[in-house]
Each structure stands twice: as structure tokens, then as C-alpha cells.
Amino acid sequence: MAKVTVSTLAKMKKQQKKITALTAYDASFAKLFHDNGVDIILVGDSLGMVLQGSEDTLSVSNNDIAYHTRCVRAGSKELFVIADMPFMTYSNPTQTCENAAQLMRAGANMVKLEGGEWLLDSIRALTQQGIPVCGHLGLTPQSVNVFGGFKIQGRQDEQADRMVADAKALEEAGAQLLVVECIPSPLAKRISDELSIPVIGIGAGKETDGQILVMHDLVGISAGYIPKFSKNFLAETGNMPDAVKKYCQDVQSGAFPTSEHEFN
């Protein structure tokens, strides 16, 4: 497998080749995903829920993400690794650059920030310092207390238009990738069509440029409930390597997600 870069991902969008992504937190799963067709690993602050047992992602620290990023990078030198910037680690450009630098030194290829227009100065500062940026719009888990829970975003026309405007502003500021989470499928398609950078969806339908899942959802072992947008590929295949292969194949063919995994 050739080394995946931002240029690789941009080319995949132009060629309409679906991008596959999963979260991972250690070297063993990073190697497994590398060996079975995954393009991107996200070292997500989801680790606060699936590894640490918290009810949300807010307790995760930058040191936590840096530690797991080093572990993931040790498992694969070729995969494209995105590191989440945790809650309150990017409240201003100076803080953002300092914390992002720690994650890049740990082995990340890109950092991910949740939010819209208020992030523009920080994104410009990061790109000026040579740090690639992934945006994140829709259901942004770090804002769970503002939303009043994990709720679908973008169902009202005004909110959808604001999200499209935010997506365009993030790209203009220098973001090279965007994740959209738990938004109506038509809105996800609109954003994907109007942006030149790749758009990766989770709970956003099949019309984005790629898909991402939390690895624990992929194999049906998440604590609590399994999200509507996920699928237990392990139950279908019987072993981990085949589950990952099946996920990648279904994303690339358009077989996943289906209408039962999306929101209208």
C-alpha cells in the first residue's frame, strides 16, 4: 500500500473514488487497518467514551491524544493519521498551534477541529505553520451540552445554509478535509458537491466523498447503544480482517451506508 497523503485524498475526490476511514487508538489495530484497505485513521477523542468509559468526549486531554497517536503511528508508516484536538485545546490561535504541534510531533499528518466560522483565524495560523487541518461540522460531540444531547443537525433550512457557509469558509481558510456528522443526507451531498476538498461522512448518507466509523461500532462492541448510522461488520464476516475488508469494499462500491443508516 502506497503512502497516503493529502494529495492522495484530493486525487481520490477528483476521481470519485470513495475514501475509507476508521478510528484507531493503538499499533495493532493501525496495522490491521493498513493491511486491509483503510485510507485514513482518526485518533479520535471518541477514546474518552470507548476506551475511558466516559459519557462524552470532554475529559480527553491533548496528552491522551498524543499518546494514542504515537501508538497508531508505530503500527503504520503509510496510513494517513488525523489526530483530534480535544475540548478546549484550540480556543485561540496561539493555544491551537502549540497543542497541534504536540500532536504532529507524535506522528499525526493532520489535526481535526470541531466548529465553524469562529475557527478561521486558528486554521489560517495552523496552515501558515505547515499543519494540515480537517474541519468537523454537524453534530460536533464537544458541543454536546450546547446541543442538549447527541442530536441530528441541519434539518432546518437556516441551519443547513449556515453549515454550507461554514464549510466553504473553512476550506477558504485552508482546511484540506472536512468531516460532517449526523446531518441529513441531502445536506451532506450539497456540501460535498460545493467543496473542492474531500468530505468524509458519518451518519451523513452515501453521497459524501468517503465514510468514517468508530472502530468499536464497526465490530459491535461499543458500550451502550449502537448508533443508527453504524453497522456490525464483524457479525457479518466472523473475523476482524474480513470485517475491515468488507467495510472498505462496501464503502467503495456504495453498498454502505444504505438508507437505513442515514437521516432525512
List pLDDT tens digits, range 75-102.
Answer: 999 999 999 999 999 999 999 999 999 9
- 57 within 8 A of 88, measured Cβ to Cβ: no
pLDDT higher than 80, residue 143: no
- 19 within 8 A of 9, measured Cβ to Cβ: yes
Which residues sit opposite 81 in a β-bridge? 41
3-state secondary structure of 172: helix
- 197 within 8 A of 191, measured Cβ to Cβ: no
Q: Of 111-115, 144-148, 193-197, 200-204, which gets the smallest average pLDDT? A: 144-148
Annotated catalytic residue 171:
no
Which residues, including other chains, have CB under 8 Å from residue 221's CB and lie 6 or more apart? none
Mean pLDDT, all residues of the chain: 93
Q: Which three cell numbers stand for residue 144?
A: 454536546
- For the chain, domains (ranges, CATH) are 6-261 (3.20.20.60)
> What spatial distance separates the first Cα and last Cα of the chain, rounded to whole Å?
36
pLDDT the model gives residue 142: 73
Higher pLDDT, 166 or 152: 166
Of the residues 181, 207, 236, 260, only one is catalytic, namely: 181
In the chain, % of residues over pLDDT 70: 94
pTM: 0.94
How far from 204 is each of 49, 83, 139, 154, 199, CA to CA, in Å? 21, 21, 10, 11, 10
- 173 within 8 A of 123, measured Cβ to Cβ: yes
Please write the tens of the pLDDT for every residue from 212-259: 999 999 998 865 567 888 999 999 999 999 999 999 999 999 999 998
